[in-house]
Structure 1
Amino acid sequence: MTDTIVAVEGVSRRFGEVTALDDVSFDIKQGEFFALLGPSGCGKTTLLRVLAGFEAPDAGTVTLDGADLLAMPPHKRPVNLMFQSYALFPHMSVAKNIAYGLERERLRRAEVKTRVEEVLETVGLTEQAGRKPHQLSGGQRQRVALARAIVKRPRLLLLDEPLSALDKKVRGGMQLELKRLQTEVGITFIVVTHDQEEAMSLADRIAVFEKGKVLQVDAPVALYERPRTRFVADFVGDNNLFDGTARPDGLEAVHLGLLPSATPAPDGTAAVLAVRPERVKLGAPGTGLLNGTVVDVSFYGGVSHVSVRVPGHENPVLVASQGASQVQAGAQVGLAWGPADAVLVPADR
């Protein structure tokens, strides 16, 4: 997976006083599952609309297989967009919904039939081919929308919050299904989502957006373990953030002393130390880096979440540990982590 299929260079888009996209640049590889992740209003959907041809940027270029994508009218682009609402035709059967785009292209009836049957088998809906959308579950309707998008064999499939209409349990199953389908059909997927868990579970790489800018593009593990900005550290997963001054061995935090980190940062600069809850170890008071009082203990999914109030630090420190925790609210504890467990990022980024 070394070939670049999409190259976005310096793309900007403004709506009056609002800058939706601010000099956005990144590449997407052939066959990649790429996620655009960020809060509402960060610009990710605007970029998706630029790729689909529904928006024209004020500046920048977008190429697909080396050709100028922006010069192509939307209906001529080898790109398909799967909408959040699925937008299925209620009066048509599953098979007819899937065949609609191919029939509009006036393909031979035999070829349409073959391709529809193939994609029905791929998404596991062969037995539902004659049903109408209202006779299907939410997950099945999602598969129909996906089948309709991939049956045209686009070079690029754009998905706008594709799983948001599903309940949590169905969504988890469809995440696996989406990943399987993407691998099986070999089409490059670009998904827009504000759901970090969805992005982390689906994507080969993720671009994190904030206020129209791309802050970091990385694989999920690198994004989680080595965020480069305060926003990314805070937005992607739970994190404990400490403000202070960078030192050769970590961060000097007011009221807390030196907190260790192995991340290099210019000595004396304002910085933020980020340490994940699962990297923080609970111990006896006086044996760690910090001391505090347990204020809450919750258990779910096989993991205990412990909140510890530390004097001199505004927010409780979160600790995550496997299994049921032995500590209770009100207990005095010590907190510790190793230098390799904490990341330093600049305070102003």
Structure 2
Amino acid sequence: MSNPPVSEPLVSIQGVSRRFGDIRALEQVSLDIRQGEFFALLGPSGCGKTTLLRILAGFEHPDSGSVTLDGADLLAVPPHRRPVNLMFQSYALFPHMSVAKNIAYGLERERVPKREIRERVDEVLATVGLTGLARRRPHQLSGGQRQRVALARAIVKRPRLLLLDEPLSALDKKVRAEMQLELKRLQHEVGITFVVVTHDQEEAMSLADRIAVLSEGRVRQVDAPVPLYERPADLFVADFVGANNLITGVVTTDGLRVPGVGVLPCPASPDAVGDTATLAVRPERVRLGADGGLVGVVRDVTFFGGTTRVAVDVAGLDRPLLATVAGAAVVRLGEKTRVDWSGAEAVLLGPV
């Protein structure tokens, strides 16, 4: 995925905090979102991502911190006057209105001339592929079509910033995959900056130019998908984004020494020698049947079609090592096998 050119941020969030009684929803959050970017807020339930989205929309106000859009104070602008639109998880379509009327609703409220409304509605219907369905009611549409109507209603007002709260969660797996492609195409075509909230790592990785990972109200890492996956900043990100093998030990000049297991390959880290640290190695970097490495017993083999996930029990480790191989695996349940990886393909996180 190509990243957009670096430019001045469209949105700048600096030191934003928000509490609800004893609950800390956001703690000193600072983020920049660039013009024309597809930006994802990723994290588990309760991490603060929806609170941050509602602050951008104007439905919440931070206890401290600033939010600017094009350098101007966004917090001073009431929600209905912000060049920002929020697409709700439920889509919130009016059941008694046609598709065209649902899309036109916001423009009619703003008293846009009728001719311009018709032109803009027709244009956006074509953009989302619903031209022939303008007269239908929401109950006559599929889930994917209703999602397109909600998107069309959100972009017809031409906001500077479109906020999407778990936009694909109500769709089944196949339709969700199709709509991920559609969202990305649409975002590039209309040129609006998208900010999506999701707890789905695959969704964030497939859609976003950059991702902010949040946990307990704090930003843990902001990065493009590939470096986020390959070089997590801390243990939380390593464990939350994708599958990972996490092994704790003591850093030596030869590798990571794990009691009862031995010395495992890890990146060279002279400054960390003697420290307790955690090694993170992705399952697709683990080799089965290697000449060296560790000996283990195959505990589970799961075939996913294009790949197979193999879990290997190794004496001394508190959880199985995971390996992902292309196609069908050649190992069987209960067999002994060797597992190994290159230290350069792992990440050292610590001290813990």
Post-superposition offset of 1:302: 1.1
* Corresponding residue to 1:267 among 263, 269, 273: 273
| Aligned with 2:348 (options 327, 337, 344) | 344
Q: Percent identity?
A: 68
Residue in structure 2 matched with residue 303 of structure 1 by the alignment: 307
How does 1:107-122 map onto structure 2 within 5 Å? 107-122=112-127
Once the two structures are TM-superposed, the CA of residue 288 in structure 1 deviates from its matched residue by 2.2
CA contact (8 A) 1:230 1:347 kept: no
Q: Does the residue aligned with 1:252 lie in a helix, a strand or coil? A: strand
Q: CA deviation at 1:37?
A: 0.2
- The normalised TM-score by structure 1 is 0.97
Asked whether 1:167 is paired with 2:172, we answer yes
Q: Secondary structure at the match of 2:75?
A: helix
Give 1:249 deviation, angstroms. Answer: 4.6
Q: Aligned partner of 2:284: which letter?
A: E
1:28-54 per-residue CA deviation (whole Å, 9 max, x = no partner) reads: 110000000000000000000110111
Distance (whole Å) between structure 1 residues aligned to residue 209 and residue 268 of structure 2: 25
* Cα distance, 1:263 vs structure 2: 5.6
Residues 22 and 213 of structure 1 are in contact (CA less than 8 Å); yes or no, is this contact kept in structure 2? yes
- For the pair 1:53 / 2:50, whether they are aligned, the reply is no
**1:71 match: secondary structure:** coil
Verify the 8 A CA contact 1:249 1:262 in the aligned structure 2: no
How far residue 250 of structure 1 moved from its aligned partner, in angstroms, is 3.4
Superposition CA RMSD, Å: 1.1
Residue 328 of structure 2 corresponds to which residue in structure 1? 324
Q: Residue 157 of structure 2 aligns with which residue?
A: 152
Given that 1:243 and 1:347 are in contact with CA atoms closer than 8 Å, whether structure 2 keeps it comes out as no
Structure 1: runs of 5 or more not aligned: none
The match for 1:227 is 232
1:127-155 Cα offsets, whole Å, 9 max, x none, are: 00110000000000000000000000000
* Residues 1:294 and 2:298 are matched in the alignment: yes
Alpha-carbon shift at residue 257 of structure 1 (Å):
1.9
Distance 2:350 2:246 in 1: 12
Q: Identify the match of residue 286 of structure 2 among 280, 283, 286.
A: 280
* Aligned-partner Cα distance in 2 for 1:71–1:288: 63
Paired with 2:10 and 2:143, the residues of 1 have a C-alpha distance of 32
The aligned counterpart of 1:212 is 217
Q: Name the SS for the 2:36 alignment partner.
A: coil
The alignment of Structure 1 onto Structure 2 pairs a total of residues equal to 346
Give the CA deviation at 1:301: 2.6
User: Residue 273 of structure 1 contacts residue 344 of structure 1 at CA under 8 Å; is this kept in 2?
Assistant: yes
Residue equivalent to 2:319: 315
Q: How far apart are the structure 1 equivalents of 2:306 and 2:145?
A: 30
What are the superposed Cα offsets for residues 241-267 of structure 1, whole Å, 9 maximum, x if unpaired?
A: 001122345322222222222263522
Cα offset, 1:15, TM superposition: 0.8
- Distance (Å, rounded) in 1 between the aligned partners of 2:47 and 2:64: 18
Tell me the distance in 2 between the aligned counterparts of 1:54 and 1:254: 52
Q: Deviations over 1:226-247 (max 9, x none)?
A: 0011110011001100011223
- The 2-side partners of 1:69 and 1:229 are apart by 32
CA drift at 1:16? 1.0
2:36 paired residue number: 31
Please report the TM-score for the alignment, with normalisation by the length of structure 2.
0.96
What is the 5 A alignment of 1:6-17?
6-17=11-22
Distance 1:289 1:317 in 2: 12
**Amino acid paired to 1:116:** V
User: CA–CA distance in 2 between the matches of 1:96 and 1:211?
Assistant: 41
Residues 96 and 248 of structure 1, relative CA distance in 2, 3 Å threshold: farther
Deviation string 1:301-332 (CA, Å, 9 cap, x unpaired) is 31011110000001110110001111101111
Distance in 2, matches of 1:160 and 1:346, equals 33
Decide whether aligned partners of structure 1 residues 347 and 165 sit closer, same or farther in structure 2, where only a CA change above 3 A counts: farther
Q: 2:97 aligns with which of 87, 92, 105?
A: 92
